[in-house]
Amino acid sequence: MFTIKKIALLVGVAVLGLCAYQLPISLGNDPVYKDIDPTVKPGDDFFAYANGGWIKRNPIPAAYSSWGIGNVVGEEIRDRLKKINEDAMNANAPVGSNTQKIGDFYYSGLDTLALEREGVNPLQAQLTLIDQARTAADIVHVAAYLSTYGTRSFISAGVGQDAKNSSKMIVQLRQGGLSLPNRDYYFKTDARTSKIRNDFQTNHLPTMLKLSGWDGQKAAKGAESVYKIEKFLADSNRRLEDMRDPYRNYNKMTVAKLNELTPGINWSTVFKDMELKAVDSVIVGQPEYYRAVNTALKTFTIDDWKAYMRWKLISSNAAYLNKALDEENFRFTGTVLAGRKEQLPRWKRVLDTENGIMGELLGQLFVKEYFPLAAKKRYADMVEAMRIAYREHIEKLDWMSAATKQKALTKLNAIQPKVGYPDKWKDFSTLQTDRKSYAGNVLRARHWAYLINANKLGKPVDHTEWGMTPQTYNASYSPSNNEITLPAAQFIIPGVKDADVDDAVVYGYAAASTIGHEITHGFDDQGRQFDAKGNLKAWWTPQDSAKFTARAQMLVNQFNNCVVLDSLHVNGKATLGENIADLGGIAIGITAFKKTAQYKEGKTINGLTPMQRYFLGYALGWLGHARNESLANQILTDVHSPGFLRVNVPFSDTPEFYEAFKIKKGDKMWVDADKRVKIW
Whether residue 483 has pLDDT greater than 50: yes
Q: What is the pTM of this model?
A: 0.93
Percent of all residues in the chain with a pLDDT value above 90, rounded to a whole number: 89
- Residue 359 domain-assigned (yes or no): no
For the segment 9-33, the average pLDDT, to the nearest whole number, is 55
Which of the listed residues 279, 303, 320 is the one where a domain comes to its end?
320
Which of the listed residues 293, 320, 347 is the one where a domain comes to its end?
320
52 and 171 inside one domain = no
394 and 515 inside one domain = yes
Dihedrals phi, psi of 608, to nearest 5 degrees: -110, 130
* pLDDT at residue 492 in the model: 86
Contact call for residues 16 and 492 (beta carbons, < 8 A): yes
For the segment 263-276, the average pLDDT, to the nearest whole number, is 97
Residue 537's pLDDT band (cuts 50, 70, 90):
very high
167 and 290 inside one domain = yes
* pLDDT at residue 495 in the model: 83
CA 432 to CA 246: how far, in whole Å? Answer: 38
* pLDDT at residue 587 in the model: 98
- Residue 494 domain-assigned (yes or no): yes
For the segment 234-259, the average pLDDT, to the nearest whole number, is 97
Task: Indicate which CATH number applies to the domain containing 24.
Answer: 3.40.390.10
Rounded alpha-carbon distances, angstroms, from residue 97 to 85, 88, 370, 448, 608: 14, 10, 21, 16, 52
* pLDDT at residue 432 in the model: 97
135 and 221 inside one domain = yes
With helix as H, strand as E and coil as C, how does 231-263 read? HHHHCCCCCCHHHHCCCCCCCEEEHHHHHHHCC
CA 144 to CA 615: how far, in whole Å? Answer: 50
Bridge partner residues of 348 (DSSP): none
667 and 555 inside one domain = yes
126 and 63 inside one domain = no
Helical packing angle, 136-147 and 124-131, nearest 10°? 160
- Residue 603 domain-assigned (yes or no): yes
Residue 377's pLDDT band (cuts 50, 70, 90):
confident
- pLDDT averaged over every residue in the chain: 94
* Tens-digit pLDDT profile for residues 206-238: 999 999 999 999 999 999 999 999 999 999 999
154 and 45 inside one domain = no
Alpha helices in 397-469 (DSSP H): 402-414, 438-454
298 and 401 inside one domain = no
- Residue 630 domain-assigned (yes or no): yes
Residue 370's pLDDT band (cuts 50, 70, 90):
low
Contact call for residues 9 and 74 (beta carbons, < 8 A): yes
* pLDDT at residue 312 in the model: 98
Rounded alpha-carbon distances, angstroms, from residue 179 to 24, 183, 331: 54, 10, 15
CA 364 to CA 362: how far, in whole Å? Answer: 5
Whether residue 656 has pLDDT greater than 90: yes
Beta strands per DSSP E along 584-636: 624-626
Domain count, the chain: 2
DSSP state letters, 650-680: HHHT-HHHHHHTT--BTBTT---GGG-----
392 and 289 inside one domain = no
Whether residue 4 has pLDDT greater than 70: no
- Residue 174 domain-assigned (yes or no): yes
Half-sphere exposure of 49 (CA within 13 A, CB side): 19
Minimal CA–CA distance to 193: which of 152, 234, 245?
234
Q: What is the extent of the structural domain holding 142?
A: 120-320
In this structure, which amino acid lies at residue 296?
A
Residues 6+ apart with CB under 8 A from 423: 464
* Tens-digit pLDDT profile for residues 566-615: 889 999 999 999 999 999 999 999 999 999 999 999 999 999 999 999 99
143 and 277 inside one domain = yes
Minimal CA–CA distance to 151: which of 317, 358, 349?
317
- Residue 245 domain-assigned (yes or no): yes
* Tens-digit pLDDT profile for residues 40-79: 999 999 999 999 999 999 999 999 999 999 999 889 889 9
Minimal CA–CA distance to 299: which of 233, 394, 219, 254?
233
Task: Indicate which CATH number applies to the domain containing 269.
Answer: 1.10.1380.10
- Is 9 in a helix, a strand, or coil? coil
- Residue 179 domain-assigned (yes or no): yes
Whether residue 265 has pLDDT greater than 90: yes
383 and 288 inside one domain = no
For the segment 393-416, the average pLDDT, to the nearest whole number, is 98
- Residue 295 domain-assigned (yes or no): yes
For the segment 8-22, the average pLDDT, to the nearest whole number, is 36
542 and 629 inside one domain = yes
Whether residue 620 has pLDDT greater than 50: yes
